[in-house]
Amino acid sequence: MALDWNNVDFKSGKIKINKTQSNGDNRLVVQTTKTENSDREIYIDSKTISILHHWKQEQRIKLFAFGFNSDTPNQLVFASAKNEMHNPNKPRVWLHQICRKYVIKTIPIHGFRHTYATLAIEGGIQPKQLQEQLGPFGY
């Protein structure tokens, strides 16, 4: 939830993971990752790059309508309508809404991590490379 556009490299198809969201003094804060090994770059496919590019353009329009200039290096990828970080629970809320809408079984958010790992192994990724992509268990 702390990902900003500065960490998305559209040309190389990589996302840099180098920070995390945390609760602090009754507000959300951005912190460095837990360990040095938590900092990593993950490769994303061209379809995901295209979706992110489209979202960046759509986000610019939506935030401008609310009076925000989103053309800043540290603009959050998943900002709220107030151009702030979402609550850490928000992805779970989104997932439940989608599952209800399409009448599909809900899995925990962490289940996507497991699914990705399984598909990556089936696709031939080397275990060490997968370990580096996923980072430590706590993200």
Q: Are 17 and 40 in contact (CB under 8 A)?
A: yes
| Residue 99 and residue 122 in one domain | yes
Domain ends where: 41, 58, 85?
85
| Residue 81 and residue 104 in one domain | no
pTM of the predicted protein model: 0.81
The reported pLDDT for the residue numbered 138 is: 47
Domain ends where: 85, 109, 131?
85
The reported pLDDT for the residue numbered 38 is: 83
Instruction: Supply the CATH number for residue 17's domain.
Output: 1.10.443.10
The reported pLDDT for the residue numbered 58 is: 96
The reported pLDDT for the residue numbered 34 is: 81
| Residue 106 and residue 135 in one domain | yes
| Residue 18 and residue 77 in one domain | yes
Closest CA relative to residue 19, chosen from 31, 8, 1 = 31
Which domain covers residue 42, as residue numbers?
1-85
The reported pLDDT for the residue numbered 121 is: 93
Q: Is the pLDDT of residue 94 over 90?
A: yes
The reported pLDDT for the residue numbered 137 is: 61
| Residue 97 and residue 129 in one domain | yes
The reported pLDDT for the residue numbered 5 is: 96
| Residue 93 and residue 80 in one domain | no
pLDDT: which is higher, 137 or 104: 104
Q: Is the pLDDT of residue 14 over 50?
A: yes
Tell me the mean pLDDT in the region 103-130.
Answer: 91
| Residue 68 and residue 94 in one domain | no
| Residue 80 and residue 112 in one domain | no
- What letters, b where the CB count within 10 A reaches 16 and e where it falls short, cover 54-82? eeeeebbeebeeeebebeeeebbbebeee
| Residue 109 and residue 80 in one domain | no
Give residue-wise pLDDT tens across range 25-57.
788 888 888 887 788 898 899 999 999 999 999
| Residue 138 and residue 112 in one domain | yes
Tally of domains within the chain? 2
| Residue 71 and residue 117 in one domain | no
| Residue 27 and residue 40 in one domain | yes
Q: Are 94 and 101 in contact (CB under 8 A)?
A: no
Q: Are 83 and 70 in contact (CB under 8 A)?
A: yes
Name the helix (H) or strand (E) containing 51.
helix 46-65
